[in-house]
Structure 1
Amino acid sequence: MNPVLKSKLPLMCQTLFEAKAAKKLTFADIGKRINKDEVWVAAVFYGQAKPDESDLKELSIVLDIRENYLINDFGTKTYFPDRGGLFQMPPTDPVIYRFYEILQVYGYPLKAVIHEKFGDGIMSAIDFTAKVDKVSFCHTENGRCKVLL
């Protein structure tokens, strides 16, 4: 993990990453074992989502971290994720920059379609799902990334 990014994470998130690496697990592996989506699991690890106590219990089993340690840091009423502060704008990481480009090009078109379908409502950035899949194309040997938001 990038040391600068790691320094921005809460200590508990760093502990989660260390346990994940020690167990040689992927976010998908952890998600399957706790019945959560891999993107949500990654968001918890990066301090961008708040797990509930049942999630923490499952994480403690999968990662072999004491449950009370997780609950003390994540399960308190004083812990709230500090969302959105992990990278500069515009982003310099190529993958994250692609999402930035998508919003530059499709931000207003998506906004217009949302308003046509829902009126002057807002879209939740917290209460949504995301899925990453690998799809095959005839012109690429390794396939392409498909992100569904």
Structure 2
Amino acid sequence: MDYIDRAEATRRILAAKERAGLSFEELAQVVGAHEVWVASALLGQNTMSSEQAAAAGKALALDEATVAALSRDAARGSLPAAVPTDPLIYRFHEIVQVYGTTLKAVIEEKFGSGIMSAIDFSMDIDRVDDPRGDRVKVTLNGKFLPYRTW
């Protein structure tokens, strides 16, 4: 079996996904995990079990090297350090730039000094119908981790 890195695996997976005409939601049903988590794993940001990788591989008709890459350690942190230029990703960057200190202040007021985990974490993305134009609802759900004194 040939070795390919996660970046090459992602290119192959996205091409296969397009050929198959499958959505992340449909692939999540096949893999047996949450839609957003499956999307992140297919994009190289989470690690699938060998069973999950095999199920995704079968659904997408992936070669053995690409399936194997899905079970390798993930490359978390998918963006370069520079400000993103993709308009949708930039808007999330903008939200944190504008409201980051507000988020921090409100979280710390409610929980104390600490952080929201991105390890013990889940995310949901929903479409909300609105007569003024459909809305995107993003729910970030992370465990609170207080800073400790030592």
* TM tier, smaller: 0.7 to 0.9
Give a deviation string over 1:53-100, Cα, whole Å, max 9, x none. 22112212221225x53453232xxx3222224345211111011101
Other structure's SS at 1:10 match: helix
The equivalent position to 2:26 in structure 1, one of 3, 25, 29, is 29
Give a deviation string over 1:87-121, Cα, whole Å, max 9, x none. 45211111011101111122122222332343333
Would you say the 8 A contact 2:6–2:69 is kept in 1? no
Match of residue 89 from structure 2:
96
Match of residue 69 from structure 2:
73
Q: If each structure's strand is expressed as a fraction of its own residues, which one has the higher value?
A: 2
1:2-81 equivalences in 2 (<5 Å): 10-66=7-63, 68-70=64-66, 72-75=68-71, 79-81=72-74
Match of residue 125 from structure 2:
132
**Misfit runs of 4+, over 6 Å:** none
TM-score in terms of structure 2 length:
0.76
Other structure's SS at 1:124 match: strand
Would you say the 8 A contact 1:56–1:70 is kept in 2? no
Give a deviation string over 1:101-143, Cα, whole Å, max 9, x none. 1111221222223323433333222331111111111222xx1
Size of the alignment, in residue pairs?
A: 136
State the identity as a percent.
Answer: 38
